[in-house]
Each structure stands twice: as C-alpha cells, then as structure tokens.
Amino acid sequence: MEPKAAGPAVTPRSKSRMLVMAAGVLVLAGIVVLIWPMLGSSMADTKSSLNPAKIDGKRAYEYLKKICAIGPRPAGSAANTTQRELVAKHFRDQGATVTVQAFKGVDPSNGQPVSMANLVGSWFPERVERVVIGVHYDTRPFPDEDTNPANRRIPFIGANDGASGVAMLMEIAHHLKDSKTPWGVDLVLFDGEELVYGGGQDQNGEYFLGSKHFGAMYAQSQRGRTRTTPHYVAGFVLDMIGDKNLTIDKEPHSVDFAPRLVRDIWSVAKALEVKQFRDRMGQTAVQDDHLPLYNSGIPAIDIIDFDYPHWHKATDLPENCSAESLEAVGKVMTAWLNKPKARR
C-alpha cells in the first residue's frame, strides 16, 4: 500500500471511476452486513461493547437462602405454593405482568393427581420477539443419590438443584424494567420438573411436567402464527448454577439444538472474562427442561453445571453455593439480553 499523500493526480475521469469503485465497495459491505447473520457468525463481543446489568450476587444468594428456609418444595406441597406466591409478588414489584399456568400431574408413589402450576413473569408484554428464561422451582421429594442410605428418606432442600435458578431469576428481575434489551422477556418457573422417586436405574416418575405443559401451550399459540403473534427467538434453562465451584461446560444437546445460542453465550462470557463458562464440551448430554422447549419449536439451551458433588444428596445446601457463582451467571445472561439486535 502507498502512503496517501503520494497518490496520483485526480482527473475528472478517474474521479468518476473512483466514485463507481467506492459505490461498489459500499454495496459489497452492505451485502456482507446483510448475510452475516445467515453465515451463523456474530460480531465479536468485547468487554466495552457489552452492557451487563449490575447484578448483585449477595442479594441473589440471600434469595437462595430465603427459598431454602421455606423448606422442601416438591410439586403439590404447601411450600411449593408459598414459594410461587413469593416470586409472583417479587416479579410484580419489579414491573412484570404475571400469569399462572395451572395443570395436573400425578404423584407416581400413589397415583394421586397433583395440582401443579408454572409461573410466568413477562416484561415488555407488547413485544412480539421474545426470550424465555426458565428454571424449575420444585424440589425432588428425597435426596435419592445420597451416599448414606439412611439420608435417602430425609426431605431434600435443593439449594442448587431448585433454589439457585429461582434466586437467579429474582435477581435478574430487578434489572429488566429499565434495561435496554430489545426483546420481550419472560422469566418462567417450571413446576413438576422432578416429582420422581428413587435413584440410579430405579426411578419412578416422569420428569419435566411443567416445561412439557409450557411447551404444549406455546406450540398451540403458534398455530396459524402471523407477524403479530408473540414468539420466542431464544430459550434458556438455568439449572444448578449456584455451585460454589461453578464450572459451566457446553451441554451437548444444546450444541445440537441451538449452536448459535451456545456460541453467543460463550462469546459473551469470554468477553466479560467470566471464567466459570469453560470453552469445552460437557461430559454429559443432560435431559432437562430445555428438551420440551426445543420440541415445541424454541431454539433452547441448558446452562448447567452438572459436575456438582451434592447432586440429589442431603448436602445440597446453601453453604455449597455462592454469591459469586450467581453473579457470574447473571452478568452473562443480562449482557446477552442487552445486546442490540443488530449485533447478533
């Protein structure tokens, strides 16, 4: 390349040629911008281009402890209802429109019907393009994987497996009303994720009742969809994100279902230097609430740390979770939410 000052003299003829060339370059640039999203690439995220909310990890952790203090919260229990009402009030206080999706499940231990309910907090309900972030709020009846068989019949608290996701949504709720997110946002509590008894191969019960119901309702709402029908452009399930030694790998089903979302989230985490998100494939393809969401037509991924030593054990307690872990996930999620549409 030549230095600018040494360029050839500009005659009227070469000037018009330069204009044609400049126009050509502009057209090319325009085409690149237009097809960029179709190539599946997003513009590189940098720390300064991102706008995470001021997530308060300590407050989120207090929510986690408050939820655990209610006691075990299996589907159909009074504690489960108490928790749902607590979150409904919180969502309303933070500017959401709240709806309850009631449905019936079955308790596999006695065949009796169980009243269940998903809770949906909607911000910017008028927006057609929406994002759903879901967590399960019911806890498993018993800590069936405890190494000590005597502990397998004591009530299960579910600090990480249950409360961490709910606490995270409660914290994110603080930052939506005044956020710059271009999307409508629905924060959803799924009931009946694990009204399941027994461990290992010896399990009795059906998983994901709440997200299956939510997915069925959503699929129904999309029949005969028009330009003005609200729909989800992305779905996230947050599960077991409170582990004090948090490591979140790319969950294999998520990579299959919605690779672009996985790439986007990990790109945001990398730019923000949130080290808990590791750039590697998880060891386990996890069955979780993202499967029913995906089956109902939502590109959905699971953000989960499946490497938790207290999983389904009596020791899944607040002391094994941390404010830092919740803060890390909240930062990544809100930075993703707040990205302008044009930068995706």
Cβ pair 73, 139 in contact under 8 A: yes
Candidates 154-162, 244-252, 258-266, 299-307 — which segment interacts with Zn ion by CB under 5 A? 154-162
3-state SS class at 231: strand
Least distance in Å: CB of 289 to Zn ion?
A: 11
Candidates 19-27, 161-169, 261-269, 282-290 — which segment interacts with Zn ion by CB under 5 A? 161-169
Nearer to Zn ion by C-beta: 163 or 274?
163
Nearer to Zn ion by C-beta: 140 or 250?
140
Candidates 167-175, 194-202, 247-255, 315-323 — which segment interacts with Zn ion by CB under 5 A? 194-202
CB atoms within 10 A of CB 89: 11
Least distance in Å: CB of 259 to Zn ion?
A: 26
Rounded Cα–Cα distance for residues 37 and 33 (Å): 8
Give whole-number Cα distances, 67 to 26, 64, 79, 160, 167, in Å: 56, 5, 9, 11, 8
Rounded Cα–Cα distance for residues 299 and 278 (Å): 21
Least distance in Å: CB of 194 to Zn ion?
A: 5
Among 45, 144, 146, 161, binds Zn ion (CB under 5 A): 161
Candidates 67-75, 84-92, 158-166, 251-259 — which segment interacts with Zn ion by CB under 5 A? 158-166
3-state SS class at 237: strand
Least distance in Å: CB of 68 to Zn ion?
A: 15
Torsion of CA 77, 80, 84, 87, to 10 degrees: 150
List alpha helices for 179-258, DSSP H. Answer: 209-221, 252-257
Candidates 101-109, 153-161, 182-190, 314-322 — which segment interacts with Zn ion by CB under 5 A? 153-161
Least distance in Å: CB of 305 to Zn ion?
A: 12
Least distance in Å: CB of 136 to Zn ion?
A: 8
Least distance in Å: CB of 288 to Zn ion?
A: 9
Nearer to Zn ion by C-beta: 37 or 311?
311
3-state SS class at 297: coil
Least distance in Å: CB of 219 to Zn ion?
A: 25
Site residues (CB under 5 A) for Zn ion, limited to 129-148: none
251 is a site residue for Zn ion (CB under 5 A): no
Nearer to Zn ion by C-beta: 161 or 305?
161
Sheet-wide strand order for 113-123: 97-106, 113-123, 184-190, 129-136, 231-239, 300-304
Least distance in Å: CB of 88 to Zn ion?
A: 23
Structure tokens at 82: 């108490």
Give the nearest residue (CB) to Zn ion. Answer: 161
Cβ pair 170, 90 in contact under 8 A: yes
Residue 100 CA from chain centroid, whole number: 19
Size of the site for Zn ion (CB under 5 A): 2
Candidates 5-13, 94-102, 190-198, 277-285 — which segment interacts with Zn ion by CB under 5 A? 190-198
Nearer to Zn ion by C-beta: 52 or 72?
72
Candidates 2-10, 186-194, 221-229, 262-270 — which segment interacts with Zn ion by CB under 5 A? 186-194
Task: Kindly give, in sequence order, each residue whose CB lies less than 8 Å from that of residue 118, ignoring residues fewer than 6 positions away.
Answer: 100, 101, 103, 188, 189, 190, 191, 210, 213, 214
Structure tokens at 189: 């509590």
Residue 250 is which amino acid?
K
Nearer to Zn ion by C-beta: 194 or 251?
194
Query: Would you tell me which residues interact with Zn ion (CB under 5 A)?
Result: 161, 194
